Structure 1
Amino acid sequence: MKLPRLALCLALMPALLHAAPLSREHKILFFGKDERVLVQPDHLPWQAVGQLQTRSRNICTGTLVSPNVVLTAGHCFLNDQGKMDKAISFTVGLWGNEYEDRSQIAEVYVDRAFLKGLIRRKDGIYIPPNIGPRDFAFVRLKTPLGKQQGYIPVFQGSREQLKKLLNEKKWTVTLGGYPIDDQRHLRVHNHCKATDLKNDGRLTHRCNSLEGNSGSPIFVFDAKGQASIVAVQSSAPPAQRRKHEDNLSVSAPMFSQALRDFIQRAKTAESR
């Protein structure tokens, strides 16, 4: 099996007033037809989903999980050489050329084992399977946004408890973010299928996602319509392997304790 290459963050292009036409390769990346829909981020959980930008103008998707903490993917903060790419801003309520709020970044946490285990080649940066479950990151905002926008809880149970929940939901999940074909509007794939919860903590799924969806939340909704994050989008196989491999995400049990610790530190830092 070939290693997944980090290709899901992208250079920020000029503002798009309309969705760009999908290329043939992008269409192949979908599981059948494009079932994503446009969702205006003016209500939860989508108010809490926003766009991260780095110094090299790469963008990813992230989600507020406390008033001043954003959950996303670890590889979002790497440049083409595999070096840390400074985070600049996080924007919520992005819709066309307007947005609800924005904050600069105070701190980024990326797992050290993930950074150490990356494979750097001339054609890009690759994630070997042994560090794939560590492709997550936490961001502390300079200006808390979750007090106004709201934030989304992260599933706190074990792998076995998450598997039980997914069985109860018939492995139906939802993914949303800001993909390459429409970087200025939120696109959501509702009621898509998770396919396996691997022993190493990665959740495979068939939710349609493109570059820019790195760090996108994968939600499960309860009977009252309340969302919780069960995984964060990591990578997708190239188009030529789409029929044989599903998308990869990192399940919540892999990062929930580290996230709780980070949120506590963020609270301490804010109170100073």
Structure 2
Amino acid sequence: MTVAIRYSVVLAIASLFLLPALANAQSTRLTRLSDRDDLLGWEAVGRLDIRGRGYCSGTLIAPDLVLTAAHCVYDKQTNVLHDPQTPSFRAGLRDGVAIAERAVSQIAVTEQFVPGAALTTEQVRHDVALLRLAKPIVSSDADPFILHSGQAIGTTVSVTSYGQGRSEALSRQRSCNIIAATDDVMAFDCDVTFGSSGAPVFALVGSRGRIVSVISGVGTLDGHPVSLGPYLPANVARLKVQLRNAPRPVPDQIKRLSVGDRNQSTGAKFIRN
């Protein structure tokens, strides 16, 4: 079953400020994380399967919290938020085998995000969701990533994601670039495709990447294709409060999901303009 997000990409170039001195910046090619050694350290990135309706990418930022894009958790036909029992998270999925698989018990989205609306920069800046897992994933299986905040990140980032044609294993682009930014939105030249929605964008800081954004959509900027993502700290902080304040389901009401025919899931997708 093919699912397409009904977004047209409407970007005012004046709303994004091009960053200088990137003409010679080189992006690396995608690398498939094919075996267990390749996957080591990236287990916290997983595939968020929307039962029978496609998939997105997502990342553990705590043992029981998955970060993704808000548009991934809405029904694309009705623009209604999915029931928490609809998605399941498959950490480190590789060729049908996940490091851990969990059902979802709660979903929180930013109030300003409007499902089904055109993908403007205003939509991108609020395209963030947090999912609480029905059961945590222990750090020894998948060590959560933390958000980047504070110091400047420069212009070099990396992306780890699933996508159309590479949905059965993670692919990592070791180096790509922030080519434009505002206070709330960034544009990248990273290689993303259908299903990469919600994928983490990492700052190359210290010995382990820190998440600076998630992939929201794609468009063009100054005649070049770009992927787009929001800044995260303020959005994520509000979503954590939202989850804490929401009533939690009684444990015996949480249904563990079994994964359907994975060959029929072709992704929560963007439409390029």
> TM-score w.r.t. structure 1 length?
0.73
Q: Aligned partners of 1:197 and 1:33: how far apart in 2?
A: 18
| Counterpart amino acid of residue 70 in structure 1 | V
Aligned residues: 225
Residue 91 of structure 1: CA displacement? 0.2
Residue 128 of structure 1: CA displacement? 3.3
Q: Aligned partners of 1:265 and 1:38: how far apart in 2?
A: 39
Q: State the match for 1:155 in structure 2.
A: 148
Alignment partner of 1:209 out of 156, 168, 192: 192
Q: State the match for 1:98 in structure 2.
A: 97
Residue 105 of structure 1: CA displacement? 0.7
Alpha-carbon spacing, 1:259–1:153, altered in 2? closer, same or farther (3 Å): farther
Moved over 3 A (4+): 4-7, 31-34, 241-245, 262-266
| Counterpart amino acid of residue 127 in structure 2 | D
Q: Aligned partners of 1:43 and 1:248: how far apart in 2?
A: 27
The Cα RMSD (Å) is 3.1
Q: How do 1:187-202 and structure 2 match up within 5 A?
A: 187-199=171-183, 201-202=184-185
Alpha-carbon spacing, 1:152–1:178, altered in 2? closer, same or farther (3 Å): same
Structure with more helix by fraction: 1
Residue 51 of structure 1: CA displacement? 0.6
> Are the aligned partners of 2:119 and 2:217 in contact in 1 as well (CA < 8 Å)?
no
Q: How do 1:52-71 and structure 2 match up within 5 A?
A: 52-71=48-67
Q: State the match for 1:76 in structure 2.
A: 72
Q: Aligned partners of 2:212 and 2:199: how far apart in 1?
A: 11
Q: Residues 119-155 of structure 1, C-alpha deviation per residue, up to 9 Å, x if partnerless?
A: 3xxxxxx333322200000000001114331100112
Residue 103 of structure 1: CA displacement? 0.3
Q: How do 1:1-272 and structure 2 match up within 5 A?
A: 5-6=6-7, 35-39=29-33, 40=35, 42-44=39-41, 46-81=42-77, 82-86=79-83, 87-115=86-114, 118-119=116-117, 126-147=118-139, 148-157=141-150, 161=151, 165-167=152-154, 171-199=155-183, 201-223=184-206, 225-237=207-219, 243-261=223-241
> Are the aligned partners of 1:5 and 1:127 in contact in 2 as well (CA < 8 Å)?
no
Q: Could you say what secondary structure the match of 1:155 adopts?
A: coil
Could you tell me which runs of 5 or more consecutive residues in structure 1 were left unpaired when the two chains were aligned: 8-30, 120-125
Residue 78 of structure 1: CA displacement? 2.1
Sequence identity percentage: 24
Alpha-carbon spacing, 1:204–1:98, altered in 2? closer, same or farther (3 Å): same
Residue 247 of structure 1: CA displacement? 1.2
> TM-score w.r.t. structure 2 length?
0.72
